[in-house]
Structure 1
Amino acid sequence: MDYEWSSSDAGLSDVIPDEGVDEAPLFDSYSRAVIGAAAKVAPSVGHIQVRGADGKGGGSGSGFLVTPDGYMLTNSHVVHGAKDLRVRFPDGSVRTAYPVGDDPDTDLAVIQVHGAGLQAVELGTTQGLKVGQLALALGNPLGFDHSVTAGVIGALGRSLRGQAGRQIEDVIQTDAALNPGNSGGPLVDSRGRAIGVNTATILGAQGLCFAIGIDTARFVLQEILRHGRVRRAKLGVAAQTVHLPRRIGHALERDIDTGVRVAAIEPGSPATAAGLIPGDLVIDLDGTALASVDRLHRLLDADAIGRSVPVRVLRGGAIIEKTVRLEAR
């Protein structure tokens, strides 16, 4: 059955302009926002050309300056293992780049170029972002240098599985078009502030592109500049998320039906010292219930290094309490 919209439909009068309304100023305002943001950020975005560790030709991607002394953010998968890096900027200059630090767990890396006249991108924050607001992606897709695409933020707080197997949190979904070569470039707001690092698309999908939130990127940047790496705590287990039989869930008084089972123990690790063994079902760590390996990973952050925390496991039908002293990974 055909449906005929009428002016009485709730809310339509608020979004459909009258025929006499001149929409040109709205489009002009949008264009000025895109042009202004792109012009502000573009000088800081470089085309990274990679030579592999074997000396042969590698891939390419994007990166952007975050400090005036040449530190750049990019993706780990763009520069991981690279022997030789060159960065070409919109002014035509080509500079040698040097790896500084790499964090595959968040698919982020820091490199540095040297020289005068370097312009850094202003870093924004993911706090206060709204679904539907303007987002621009700058980079070098498919070898087309210094390209700009525009779209909106489609969703916030997404999770994305990184190449290292861990979940990357605080991921921004956008429909600003990304293609191979955009990886590592900035996602920026209408004021030209970086709000994310472009990282991934879903093959076969349209308008589903993802950027790692800039708050995560800022944390990784600070850790690498201070320590040369991102510090995380280590328990020393290989574990898997498993479904729990209903009777076990009831016995543990848990609403969740999954848990973390220890598959293997690293010799000499904190888990070994604490007396954990393969087959243990880890119920909670430091008082936090564990429903998945991803939840365990989130607890093993830099703040946990050096702390002695309680861990409860289910072994042979009995709950056993241990204390584990977490080490730096």
Structure 2
Amino acid sequence: MRIVSFGFQTWGRKTLQALIDSEHEVVLAVTHPASAQSYKAIWADSVEELAKEHGIPVHLTERADAATIDLVKQAEPDVIVVNSWYTWMPPELYQLPPFGTLNLHDSLLPKFTGFSPVLWALISGAPEFGLTVHRMDEQLDTGDILVQRSLPIGPTATGTELVEAGMALIPGALHEALSVLEAGTANWRPQDKTARTYFHKRSDRDSRIDLSWSAVDLERFVRALSEPYPRAFSYYRGERIEILAAEVSTVRYGGTTGRVVVQEGGGAVVCGPDPIRGDNHGLVITRVRAADGTEHSGAEFFTRGGYLTDVPE
């Protein structure tokens, strides 16, 4: 089959590589220009460079405008394959090929539609995540499902580890989807839209620790925001600090939410919805990055006690 690829960042590059390695012909690669903007600068392997290495025509654009649609029409694809495309695609484009447009989304749809689904799945305490290949339609990540692959979320997994594991699913899932499409044996499964969950784009505010959460939720939050993502942060003695590693305390704690006491070999942050009862596990912060960029153990950093706060105090 003749395929046009729309993709960006490492997800788009891995998808293009899988297409190159397949028996199909990639006739055009459409991608966004490189960007230093927040999450676009993370996992920034170039689709453009890979396409050029293999002699595939490349079109750089921020959005699927009239010029983009004309180029795709001229390429005469049998199917369009999309992974990590940041802007809206009009029906005139995604309905153009005979087999329509396949979108790859790194969640088990209909759960975790939207943005940063792997991070949100870990933060939310989901037991598993995965990859879905589905037909693009008028809404975001809501089209009929063709292929799904799932993986468990382990008790110590980081966001980075899960993202990498999800990317490793791309070649197999894409090969299966294209094979059944070409053979005419595709089994499309409509999504249960009543079960849909949507998560917004992450910003700096979304990395701030919410001291009203339980220690279990906060420990997952810290693991989710692993390098290269913006780290979980809070404020301590007026300065912004990053929480690099943490665990749930063995002991239960009482006291004011946010109070830091040195226990269990680290800084135990007293948190939870009812701290005055002394029945909450604390978040034991084991590794911290200070405002000057230096890293410290929690026990070393919090020897003066004090409080974590939502704003500088």
The alignment's TM-score, normalised by the length of structure 1, stands at 0.27
TM-score normalized with structure 2 length = 0.28
Q: Which structure has the greater CA radius of gyration?
A: 1
